[in-house]
């Protein structure tokens, strides 16, 4: 009896750690699987639902076009049987909104014919009434060109509001400049707004990282940086500095980047 007790107490230090390990392993496996498959919070309103949009032609031009809206569920599978519609509003007062509904669907890709009356920047709100009764939505801000432009960006889908929100950004340390599609066209047409001020002020004790993301179909210059279409450039400044140069995202065509101590 005594020997049996001694044997049991001698084994507890083997059994207990193994039990702990099994427990920890279970937690890790669960966490890993959950992180992989869990639906991400989405502005679409439906957990994990991804709404992307392309077009024919891409980018869009004035006249008859077709929006290609793709619906994917949380598992990445195409969603069929939804009712998809679009409302497009131009960012210029006095312009009536446009509406479109899907006329056909293939493998989760919905085709919405839409005729654009005017060149410029538009907000397109997509709404998808899903077969299960839920409704998902997404916003795309895009540019409608007067004629088919030269597209220097390898990307073939529009940037969504969800994508923009999901990009890593630390506003305390980063001064971020996002160059949207159509910026070059707006600048040469004389319309549009300056994306940055004449002087960009950075501070080593605050925003000391400059991030420039070029979503346009054209290359751009911002001071000493040349950013190709689709490219991002990231510069962390470590010393006070002053850089001046040409700028393609300001009507003044020049910018100063000032890094203060």
Partner 1 sequence: MFKNFVCVLLLSVALLSGCQSTPEVRSEPDYLDELHGAVFDPPRVLSDFSLMSTTGEPFRLSEHRGEALLVYFGYRACPDFCPTTFAELLRVYKALGEPSDRLRVLFVTVDPERDTLENLRLYIESFHQDFIALRDDGEALKQLMAEFGVTAQRRQLGESALSYLIDHTASVFLIGPDGRLQAQYLYGTDYRDIVHDLELILETV
Q: Name the site residues for partner 1 (rule: CB under 8 A).
A: 9-10, 13-14, 16-18, 20-21, 24-25, 28-29, 32, 219, 221, 224-228, 231-236, 238-239, 241, 243, 246
Q: Is 214 exposed, middle or buried (0-12, 13-18, 19+ CB in 10 A)?
A: buried
Q: Which is nearer to partner 1, 112 or 177 (CB)?
A: 177
- For the bound state, the minimum distance from the C-beta of residue 106 to partner 1, rounded and expressed in Å, comes to 31
- For the bound state, the minimum distance from the C-beta of residue 180 to partner 1, rounded and expressed in Å, comes to 18
- For the bound state, the minimum distance from the C-beta of residue 158 to partner 1, rounded and expressed in Å, comes to 20
- For the bound state, the minimum distance from the C-beta of residue 48 to partner 1, rounded and expressed in Å, comes to 23
Q: Which is nearer to partner 1, 181 or 248 (CB)?
A: 248
Q: Which is nearer to partner 1, 135 or 232 (CB)?
A: 232
Q: Which is nearer to partner 1, 92 or 234 (CB)?
A: 234
Please report where in the chains the tokens 């010393």 appear, as a residue.
Answer: 239
Q: Find the length of the chain.
A: 261
- For the bound state, the minimum distance from the C-beta of residue 6 to partner 1, rounded and expressed in Å, comes to 11
């Amino acid at each position: 009896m005594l020997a049996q007790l001694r044997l049991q107490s001698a084994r507890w230090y083997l059994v207990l750690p193994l039990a702990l390990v099994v427990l920890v392993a279970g937690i890790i496996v669960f966490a890993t699987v959950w992180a992989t498959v869990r639906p991400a919070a989405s502005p679409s309103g439906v957990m994990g639902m991804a709404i992307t949009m392309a077009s024919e032609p891409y980018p869009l031009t004035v006249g008859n076009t077709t929006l290609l809206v793709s619906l994917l569920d949380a598992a990445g599978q195409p969603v069929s049987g939804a009712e998809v519609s679009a409302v497009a509003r131009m960012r210029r007062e006095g312009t009536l909104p446009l509406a479109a509904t899907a006329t056909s669907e293939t493998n989760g890709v919905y085709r919405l014919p839409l005729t654009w009356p005017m060149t410029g920047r538009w907000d397109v709100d997509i709404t998808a009434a899903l077969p299960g009764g839920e409704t998902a939505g997404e916003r795309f801000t895009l540019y409608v060109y007067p004629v088919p432009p030269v597209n220097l960006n390898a990307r073939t889908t529009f940037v969504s509001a969800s994508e923009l929100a999901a990009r890593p950004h630390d506003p305390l340390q980063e001064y971020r400049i996002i160059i949207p599609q159509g910026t070059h066209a707006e600048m040469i047409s004389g319309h549009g707004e300056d994306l940055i001020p004449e002087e960009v002020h950075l501070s080593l004790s605050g925003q000391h990282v400059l991030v420039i993301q070029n979503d346009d179909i054209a290359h751009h210059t911002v001071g000493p940086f040349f950013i190709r279409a689709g490219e991002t450039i990231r510069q962390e400044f470590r010393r006070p500095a002053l850089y001046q140069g040409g700028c393609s995202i300001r009507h003044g065509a020049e910018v100063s980047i000032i890094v203060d101590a």
